[in-house]
Structure 1
């Protein structure tokens, strides 16, 4: 009788272990959205431009990255949270007939320490109003608990009042991608805006499977572009044996990878499944490359040079700006307003903060 009890207990433990070890599936309540390659190549340029530290060139859209597919973009709000080394902008892209919001990621020279730190990050805050949904406190706070959110929300309302009900496209690279995701969710949940699209590049995981399910339901028009062996989309680590507690990507991933045919190398875009953790996409390779993190679609991501949260700005742009007591800076102008022609060459007088 004792042996029978032990056998029953053993079988029960095996079934319990198998059940707990299964990967959770993200619930989907919408038909899959269609990935647009051309749009991705445009938004990646916005995600790159937001890294520029010269606020004069960025605010007047004359920087070296403010050309090409983003030419003619009209910035309405540019915010720099010096206290937390964060930066974002909002404006109108008339060729897209959309409001574009972009957030800056981690600077290249500090990215190694940031990556090492992400290996140990735990789910440490409940997302408001979502049962069992937990997220990364640092990523959540970077958007919600800094000067970034009030400035962006204010600019969204001004842009929509002037231009009407435009689509909103939110983008960012690396940590900027995490902020973009929280922004897209915020606009949908708290402002009731339905026409929000999010596209990120090299984004880390930001929440658990419960959060991913809620996010998928509320912001279905979302794509996370990952590049080859980029290390950041693998962080914080995903542990399939702890599906309830581990970080979990939301869908839909688009994985860029390379194949060689003789002397030719081609970049392939794979549209991944709706799980958020497709084992045949970026999870199929070792995420061990920082260099793959810093280039997407041939566009350089990150700053041109090491600037420890420094602002470069022509004094004459000050009429568009305001600074709070902590040194955080916002440049703002009315939609469609003309802007003073400013010098952007090396002879122009400038302030460095």
Structure 2
């Protein structure tokens, strides 16, 4: 029997035997929802594209081809690469936004097709600490909490605040990076008492149930998920409307990009969705089957140059900024004790090694 038949059977059984337990996510009033800013979204998607850069020298010095246009002048404070789990993030200061940016890369292992197919079968399998009835996807949770990312990000946020003061923190991520970004923002708000955390993700999958989404919308109210047309990933893991409290459920607020018009007159419109997290008139109104819609947001390519590897390029002169742990994970820090006062831009002139 094929996967499709099994999935339909599972949905039917869920509907027949559904028992509504736990905390229900209530629709928020518009006055309680974060305000969506189109210009900010276009800036942040460029910051998010840069984290896919494999040349650590160019990314750390902010001289890569993606590090231009609306992100010029950005200063990377810390660049974190988890070699073991193929994860990458950076933390830095955006002069144009007067904010600390934390950006997470999406999955790079194997192929996106395999990753998408795997998401169809992911179950809620972890109780979120200190949130009764809240359950989350353990893989996404662990990708932030049990890797090099969390200690690296927390250290960099502290350094950034020491350098630039108590300014806004904007956490961004695409695809699985959006899931990690969401957990990061919750961690900063709840455990580290940050008062000025904003979240914007692109093509993010569901990460928890309705109880978790309800807590999330209260604790991290300034969170926006941008979804693009028929992007498959925001539809995963599946949401079963007949089983609302025990299935995966998006947290609000969604902004859906969709196409209008015909032929050469097609243009992209934006719809600000309701506060339910699962607005049936937004991305759930279409069949989410497109990988191409997942990889391009606002005309910006959100993927690395190649799949099937965690390829990175480094320059020997990065050694003065670099710390490597026993597993080979890398942290490049602008405030590393061995760093010289020379400008980082000189790094882009030398040779590089590939890992």
TM-score (norm 2): 0.90
Q: Does 1:177 find its partner at 2:178?
A: yes
- Contact 1:106 1:302 survives alignment (8 Å): no
SS of the residue 1:120 aligns to: coil
Counterpart position of 1:276:
277
Counterpart for residue 311 of structure 2: 310
Q: Does 1:350 align with 2:352?
A: yes
Runs of 4 or more, structure 1, over 2 Å off, are 16-21, 23-30, 337-345
Q: CA deviation at 1:351?
A: 1.7
Deviations 1:258-305 (A, max 9, x none): 001563111100000000000000000000000000000000000022
Q: Which residue of 1 aligns with 2:264?
A: 263
* Separation in structure 2 between the aligned mates of residue 308 and residue 93 of structure 1, nearest angstrom: 30
The CA distance in 2 between the partners of 1:112 and 1:74, in whole Å, is 34
Long gaps (5+) in structure 1: 1-15
Q: d(CA) in 1 for partners of 2:18 and 2:246?
A: 16
Q: Distance in 2 between matches of 1:220 and 1:338?
A: 41
- CA distance in structure 2 between the partners assigned to 1:93 and 1:243 by the alignment: 39
CA distance in 2, matches of 1:117, 1:307: 16
Partner residue, 2:155: 154
SS of 2:111's partner is helix
Tell me if structure 2 keeps the 8 A contact 1:198–1:221.
yes
Matching of residue 297 in structure 1 with residue 301 in structure 2: no
1:212 maps to 2:216 = no
On the 8 A contact 2:61/2:347 being kept in 1, the answer is no
Contact kept, 8 Å, 2:107 with 2:177, in 1: the verdict is yes
* Matching residue of 1:11: none
Contact 1:108 1:303 in 2 (8 A): no
Greater mean deviation of Cα atoms: 246-255 or 102-111: 102-111
State the 1:318 CA deviation: 1.2
Name the CA distance, whole Å, in 2 between partners of 1:180 and 1:338: 32
Kept in 1: contact 2:82–2:147 (CA 8 A) = yes
Superposed CA RMSD in Å reads 2.2
**In structure 1, what is the Cα distance between the partners aligned to 2:57 and 2:308?**
16
In our comparison, the structure showing a higher alpha carbon Rg is 1
CA distance in 2, matches of 1:199, 1:42: 11
Task: Please tell me whether the aligned partners of residues 20 and 241 of structure 1 are also in contact (alpha carbons under 8 angstroms).
Answer: no
Report the counterpart of residue 65 of structure 2 in structure 1: 64
Confirm whether residue 37 of structure 1 aligns to residue 41 of structure 2: no
Task: Tell me, in whole angstroms, the C-alpha distance in 1 between the residues paired with 2:78 and 2:144.
Answer: 15
- Work out the number of aligned pairs and report it: 335
Cα gap change, 1:139/1:243 in structure 2, threshold over 3 Å: closer, same or farther? same
How far off its partner does 1:163 sit? 1.0
| Structure 1 CA distance for aligned equivalents of residues 187 and 169 of structure 2 | 12
Contact 1:26 1:276 in 2 (8 A): no
Shift of 1:343: 4.8
Shift of 1:27: 6.0
Residue 124 of structure 1 deviates from its aligned partner by 0.5
**Alpha-carbon deviation of 1:59?**
0.1
**1:14-93 paired onto structure 2 within 5 Å:** 20=20, 24-26=24-26, 28=28, 31-93=32-94
- 41-50 or 261-270, which moves further after superposition? 261-270
Aligned residues of 1:28 and 1:216 also touching (Cα < 8 A): no
Q: Distance in 2 between matches of 1:19 and 1:290?
A: 34
